[in-house]
Every structure is written in structure tokens, then in C-alpha cells.
Chain A
Amino acid sequence: MISQLLFAIVLIGAILLFYKNAYKIYQNIRLGKSVNRFDNPSERFKTMLLVAFGQQKMFKRPIPALLHLFVYVGFCIINIEMIEIIIDGLFDTHRVLSFLGDFYNFLIASFEILAFAVLLSCVIFFIRRNVLKLKRLNQPELNNWPRSDANYILITEILLMTAFLIMNAADQKLQVVLPESYHIAGSFPISQYLIGILPESINSLIFIERLAWWFHILGVLAFLNYLPISKHLHIILAFPNTYFSNLNLKGKFENMESVTAEVKAMLDPSLPPPSGDVSRFGVKDVHDLTWKNLLDAYTCTECGRCTSACPANITGKLLSPRKIIMDTRDRVEEVGKNININKTFVDDGKSLLDSYVTREEIWACTSCNACVEQCPVNINPLEIIMGLRQYAIMEESQAPASINNMLGNLENNGAPWKYSQADRANWTQM
């Protein structure tokens, strides 16, 4: 009875805490400007099914894609077992779903095989990250917290799967030695090999079975509450983020409507000059980004596929698209805390541009869309880079001198070089 009550309290507490932190993230995302990503629901749903559910873009790199698929499928399927664990916990039943008979045995057997696949994949991931030291998993923007975050996730998953398998092993042994309390249920293709390492004493077995059971469920609930501060949040946000993807061709950059009104007035003096509040041109801080840019930032799991395909990063420049996204998340978290404390945003003397992202980074981009193409969850770092450039140029006139020369030429003679427009067709006379 006490354990049932305790379980109910922990379960409800964990869910409430998660809701509270998830709501904070929702509010932070809402700080972004509006952008219409609600059109064309069927196309959006299809994109989500292919890219998030179907892991389509992961398979640009087959080995990690396969390992990730095990963890992903394992995670989704093994969580079905959570239904039983929660019912057992609340009503003091034991393997309540076992009335399903053969189908139950099939389920438990699949969970075990998947649990083993998850465990193995996570061990390989851990080795890739910490022993083989793959470049994209060891770049400077991952120093400190991001590196620990990644390892905590892998270690937690390894421990959770181990607990799950040990729980099953202990249960199996109890089904034999104490059949009056532990009725025969389940099929255990993996954990049968663990029976040998368990003690013979019934009390120890019960203790181990309970310990593993509690460890597994508490671990899962703790993990749920770890998500909001972790890159692992992608397991949830990958779905909305791909649903709200940009459906246009990658080459199409949106035109700024506020500029269109002014340019039209300049070209045609009979038009009235645009009135109303002139918003800031471009992006200086996270408020100037769209909510989708901010959703991107929270969805990023820092895999670095973007950075490893970035021509600037490959050739040793400072720019890393992954860092742009991580900086955006760090900054919006900081702004969100600021608002929570002060009720409204109080200038902290910082901004995304300069305090987080340097000019050198934004000017190294070739706008080649490689980062956008590679992202397995359709994050767009390029849009943020372009926004920062727009602010630097249009609000501050701060650009590399050669860029200013090019713009001057464009305005004066309609070409990026210093050639007269009158000479434009000279090539026809060659």
C-alpha cells in the first residue's frame, strides 16, 4: 500500500514537473516572431512521417543511422512496457498484461531483444564519442556541458536497459522458485542468460526484482525531467519541428515586406512613404528570430552533421552551424530566465550577435545550404545566419570592406564589379 502511494506521488510529481518545464520552453519559443507554418497540412504531415518518424535523412550516414534506429525503435517499443509498469505500480498487480498470453510473450521477447540492441548501440555510441573521438562529436562547441550531456544520456540509457533486463531475469527465477506469487508469464530470450549471476535466496531475488523495477521506472521519470535541459529533447521536438519545416525550395529566401514598401515608395514618388512602426531590420537578438528558429534551437541534438558538411568549417574557419543553433538555445534560455525573474525582459547588455555569435562566423558562410540539407530534423541554421547579416548590414552598415565595395558597385553600375553598365553588352562584339 505504501509503495503504491509512493509510486503514485512520484509519478504525478514527475509529470507535473515536466509539464512546468515544458511550458517554460513553449513560452520561450513563443518569444519569436510569427511565421506561417500552418498551411498545407497534408504535405507537412508527410514530411514529418518521412523525416522524423521514418528517419529518412539519418540514412545519409548508414552506420550511425542503423545504430540510432535501434535506439529509436527500442525506445518507442519498450515504452509500451511502461503502461504495464505504471498499472502494476498503481494497483499492486504483477505483470497485469500477461492475460494476453502468447502475444504477451511475444511482446516481452521483442522488448528484450530491442533492449539489448539499444544497450549495444549506446555502448558503440559511447565508444565513438569517447574512444574513437569522431571529429564531429568532439568539436570545440561541445566542450563542457554538451559533452557531459551526451555521455549522461548514453550512460542512463545503458543503465535503464540493464535494469530492465535484470528485472526480467530476477522475475524469471522467481517464477520458478516462487510460482504462487510470480505466475509464469513472458518469454525472455536475453535475460535468461543473466539468471546465472543472480543469487539463490528468494528474499534477495525479490529485493533485486523490486530494486530493478524501481530503478527502471524512477530512471525513466528522471529522464523525462532531464529532457528540458538536455539536447535529448529532440525525441519529442523532432516531430513538430519537421511538421513545421520550410516547404519551399532551399534556394528561396523570404523577401522582407517592410523593405518592399520602402523600396516601392523610393521608385515611385507618387506612392506615400510607408508609415507605422518600423521594426528592426534583421536579427540582433532572439526576439528578432521567428518561433520556428527557436523551435529549431530546442530541437537540435548537436549531432554535428551540419558542421561536418559546412565548407567553411571543413576548411578550418570559425563558423559552425551547430554552434549557431546551440548559441540560439543558450541565449533564448537566458532571455527566458530574465523574463521569469523580472516579469518583462530587462536589457542585460547582451545579444545573440556579438555576445554569442561573432561577426567572423556569420561572414564565413557561403549560403550553400549544406547544413540545412544534412540536418536529420530539418533545422535551418542558414536562416539565422542570414538574419544576423541583415542586421549587421542594414542597421549598422557593418560589413567587410570588400562587401561594402561590392554593394556600392551594385548601386552605382548594376554589377558587383566596377564595370560600367554601358559596357555590359561588349562581349557581343568580340
Chain B
Amino acid sequence: MENNLYIPTAAELVAKGETPEILFWVGCAGSFDERAQRITRDICKILQHVGIKYAILGTEESCTGDPAKRAGNEFVFQMQAMMNIQVLDGYEIKKIVTACPHCFNTIKNEYPSLGGNYEVIHHTQLIQSLIDDGKLKPNDGNEFKGKKITYHDPCYLGRANEVYEAPRKVLETLDADLVELKRCKSNGLCCGAGGAQMFKEPESGNKDINVERIEDVIESKAAIVAAACPFCMTMLRDGIKVKDKEQDIQVLDIAEITVRANGL
């Protein structure tokens, strides 16, 4: 399957006189972070499997500007945003799926007033709609059956955009033993990476935020914590390392879980 993955760029499709049904916005983490790259490829596998005509921007993609905006640099944010809008509009993109809640939030909520109007969904929403349409169905004997799985709400998917159900519905199809963390949904605790924290050392305190969050996961006794954000992924994995629980707890993205459960 790996070798059969065909990942077209928007430029390639346009050269063939085609337009993508949906643009897959990969994001910086999905492009450069080794762990996140695996999730990116899994999302491509899903898109290819269900036969959606999609494309990526490839080297024409650039950061949405989210970390600049959250750090307070509106100039850098708006420069990035306007350049991205030019590229997206150049390919007449109408619908976008993102793998990162930060990209999702920025393009969906902050691009419109700068002239970028697209229908934006997060990959967990795409997967949920594919399951609803019967295009994805976990195998009966999938590896997650009966396993204790919990879900960590990314702030920019949950509280920021009120997407709480889509990722949970995907997990519900697994026939797994689902548990909620004590702080979940609108009361979910941040992993510690938002607001440009991903790119700096934390201020001094008595604990790192991701460690505080992993304690919730440990308390839930889950063997797998599902994530839906590349930054949460990094923070949760680091937290697990600090707690020396690498043998007991796995962090998997909703897309990875879907690919494995469907045997893609």
C-alpha cells in the first residue's frame, strides 16, 4: 500500500486540466515533524482509499500564520495569510481539510475577513462523515477492539471551534472500551503547546503542563490516548516519556487509528 500512495499537488492537477474536490492542508508539523509526517501519510491513505479527488499545495504551502498571530505579531500573520489566500484562490480552492486544529481554526475563522473564504473541515470531521456515508468501516477484528482508549481534546478543535463529537464518533465505531479524561470536552486541559508555546520554553513553575495532562491520562488507565493535533501529539508523547510510561500508553492520531482499524 505504501508504494501505491499517489499524492498529487494542486499544480499537477491543474496541469492535467483538473481541479481537486478538496485541498488537503498539511501544515508545518505535518510536513516537517517526523512523527506528524506519518499521520499526514495516513490521511492521504484515507483520501485515496475512499476515492476523493484531493491535492496538496506541496512546496507552495506556507505556514497559516497562527503562531505569529498568537505570539502577537499581526504583521507576520497577515503577510502569511494573504500570500496563502493568493495561492488558494489561484487554484480556485473551495474546500479544505486540515490535519492541524491550529491551521483549521486560522483558515476557517481568521482568513475570511482577509478575503479567504473556504469551507474548512478538520480531518476528524472528514473521517466521521466518511464513516457516516459507509465509506469507512472498521474491520470486525480490528486491533482496538476492547482496548481502553481515551481522547484528549485539542483546545483549537474543542473549545475554540466546538468540535467535540466528530473524533469521539470515530472512536465509537471501534468497539473499544472508551473512557473520558476527568477534564474533557469544554473543560479539557490544554497540552501546553498552544499560543506559540510550542516554540518556546515554558515560564518557570512547578510542573510542565503536558505532565499535568499525562497524569489525567494515567488516572484514566487508558492504553491509548487518541490525539487530533500534531502539537498535542508531541506534548503528550513527551509527557509519557517524563513519566516513563512508554510501555503502557500509546499516543495515536484519530487518522492513524482509522487507517489501522480499516486495514488500509
List chain A positions with a Cβ less than 8 A from chain B: 60, 248-256, 259-260, 262-264, 266-267, 281-282, 309, 311-312, 314-319, 360, 363-370, 372-374, 386, 388-394, 399-400, 402-403, 405-407, 410-411, 414-417, 419, 421-428, 430
Contacts and interface: CB of A to CB of B under 8 A. Distances in A.
A264 B159 contact: no
Among A393, A403, A430, the most chain B Cβ lie within 10 Å of the Cβ of A403
Q: Main SS of chain A's interface residues? A: helix
A367 B74 contact: no
A413 to B, nearest CB: 9
Given A415-B31, A425-B56, A427-B31, A255 B78 contact: yes
B62 interface: yes
Contact of A264 (B7, B73, B82): B82
Given A319-B203, A410-B65, A430-B41, A366 B195 contact: yes
Contacts of B94: none
A37 B30 CA distance: 38
Contact of B159 (A370, A403, A419): A370
Nearest to A390: B72
B195 A368 contact: yes
Given A263-B78, A403-B200, A414-B63, A393 B7 contact: no
Contact of B199 (A406, A424, A428): A406
B82 A393 contact: no
B75 A366 contact: no
B190 A419 contact: no
A421 B207 CA distance: 35
Interface in B4-20: 5, 7, 9
* Most chain A C-beta atoms within 10 Å of own C-beta, residue among B26, B65, B114, B200: B200
Given A411-B76, A427-B37, A311 B192 contact: yes
A373 B186 CA distance: 7
B162 interface: yes
Contact of A424 (B32, B113, B162, B202): B32
Given A366-B190, A399-B71, A403-B200, 16 more contacts: A251-B109, A251-B161, A252-B105, A252-B109, A259-B75, A263-B79, A312-B203, A314-B212, A360-B203, A366-B194, A407-B76, A416-B63, A422-B59, A424-B31, A425-B31, A430-B37
Give chain B's interface residue range (CB within 8 Å of chain A).
35 or more
Interface string B141-176: 000000000000001100111100000000000000
Contacts of B105: 251-252
A317 B160 contact: no
A203 B245 CA distance: 78
Contacts of A402: 199-201
Interface in B40-79: 40-41, 56, 58-59, 61-63, 65, 67-76, 78-79
B209 A366 contact: yes
Nearest to B79: A263
A250 B200 contact: no
B257 interface: no
A89 to B, nearest CB: 48
Contacts of B73: 390, 393-394, 407
Contacts of A60: 187
B225 interface: no
Contacts of A417: 28, 32
17 contacts: A250-B161, A251-B109, A255-B114, A263-B75, A314-B212, A317-B204, A366-B197, A366-B209, A389-B71, A391-B72, A403-B199, A407-B73, A410-B63, A415-B32, A416-B67, A425-B58, A427-B40
Given A60-B187, A368-B194, A424 B58 contact: yes
B94 to A, nearest CB: 21
Contacts, number: 211
A281 B5 CA distance: 47
A33 B182 CA distance: 40
Nearest to A399: B71
A424 B30 CA distance: 9
B76 A410 contact: yes
B159 A368 contact: yes
B159 A315 contact: no
B238 interface: no
A249 B160 contact: yes
A318 B160 contact: no
Contact of B78 (A252, A259, A393, A423): A259
B111 to A, nearest CB: 9
Q: Which of A255, A260, A316 has the most CB of B within 10 A?
A: A255
B191 to A, nearest CB: 8
B155 A366 contact: yes
Contacts of B200: 363, 400, 402-403, 406
B7 to A, nearest CB: 5
- Minimum-distance CB pairs A-B, first 8: A251-B160, A367-B195, A389-B72, A414-B62, A316-B206, A316-B205, A368-B190, A252-B109
B74 A256 contact: yes
Q: Which of A251, A253, A415, A423 has the most CB of B within 10 A?
A: A251
B205 A266 contact: no
Given A255-B110, A425-B56, A262 B205 contact: no
B180 interface: no
B93 interface: no
B164 to A, nearest CB: 12
Contacts of A414: 61-63, 80
B242 interface: no
B193 interface: yes
A248 B205 CA distance: 33
Contacts of B264: none
A369 B160 contact: yes
Contacts of B212: 311, 314-315
A298 B250 CA distance: 46
A360 B9 CA distance: 43
Contacts of B193: 366
